[in-house]
Amino acid sequence: MDNLIATTPCAGLLPITIGALILTEVEAGVITSVAPHAGQDKSVSAVVKSAIGIALPAANRTTSKGSARAMWFGNSVAFVMGVALPDVAGAALTDQSDAWAIVQLNGAGAEDVLARLVPVDLRAAHFKKGHTARTMLSHMTASVTRVGPQTFEIMVMRSMAKTLVHDLSVAMTSVSARG
């Protein structure tokens, strides 16, 4: 009989440090997709807020409190991360916990790294802490969120974890070589 061992999407791939840049894996815990039914956005947000202390975010934003975080994910859909949600009337909930590879890129030059891979202006003047975007990263569909002055969280489908780490490490090497 085979012994199956649970691993994270980036197991054996991270962490990586190149120059001043650090790429690490993020373990978000429970991830639940919340898709309010038509016309139920406000009531679902209120129920979520009473359950976990944060409302669902506006488009291209995140909300957080303690270990609970909600991230806009497009078309009135949000991902609630870090806490389990009870059933929410008026919304479809889907467990996404094992579907995503999440990494954090931190350090001086993080914006430059992502500028090589993402067709969105992620400079701090335009993309502030708590902003998030669904976009392409190289050839992968991704979610990019600014979580600090020089820190970004990047999510791609779990099956793309190795490609994500490769593409980011190549760009990190290129940016670090300039310094």
* CB count in 10 Å sphere of residue 88: 20
Q: What is the pLDDT of residue 6?
A: 87
**For residue 1, pLDDT beyond 80:** no
Looking at the structure, do residues 21 and 103 belong to the same domain, yes or no?
Answer: yes
Looking at the structure, do residues 22 and 102 belong to the same domain, yes or no?
Answer: yes
Q: Please indicate, yes or no, if residue 11 is contained in any of the structural domains.
A: no
First to last CA, the chain: 52
Q: Please indicate, yes or no, if residue 140 is contained in any of the structural domains.
A: yes
Looking at the structure, do residues 102 and 42 belong to the same domain, yes or no?
Answer: no
54, 48 Cβ separation under 8 angstroms: yes
**For residue 120, pLDDT beyond 80:** yes
Looking at the structure, do residues 172 and 135 belong to the same domain, yes or no?
Answer: yes
d(CA 52, CA 124): 29
Looking at the structure, do residues 112 and 168 belong to the same domain, yes or no?
Answer: yes
Q: Please indicate, yes or no, if residue 169 is contained in any of the structural domains.
A: yes
CATH code, 150: 3.30.1360.120
**For residue 179, pLDDT beyond 80:** no
Q: What is the pLDDT of residue 2?
A: 85
Secondary structure, 3-state, the chain: CCCCCCCCCCCCCCCEEECCEEEEECCCCCEEEEEECCCCHHHHHHHHHHHHCCCCCCCCEEEEECCEEEEEEECCEEEEECCCCCCCCCEEEEECCCCEEEEEEECCCHHHHHHCCCCCCCCCCCCCCCEEEEEEECCEEEEEEEEECCEEEEEEEHHHHHHHHHHHHHHHHHHHHHC
Q: Please indicate, yes or no, if residue 85 is contained in any of the structural domains.
A: yes
Which structural domain range is residue 71 located in?
Answer: 31-95
Can you give the pTM of this predicted structure? 0.94
Provide the token pair at 85.
């949600």
Q: Please indicate, yes or no, if residue 10 is contained in any of the structural domains.
A: no
Residue-wise pLDDT for 30-87, tens only, equals 999 999 999 999 999 999 999 999 999 999 999 999 999 999 999 999 999 999 999 9
Calculate mean pLDDT across residues 151-158: 98
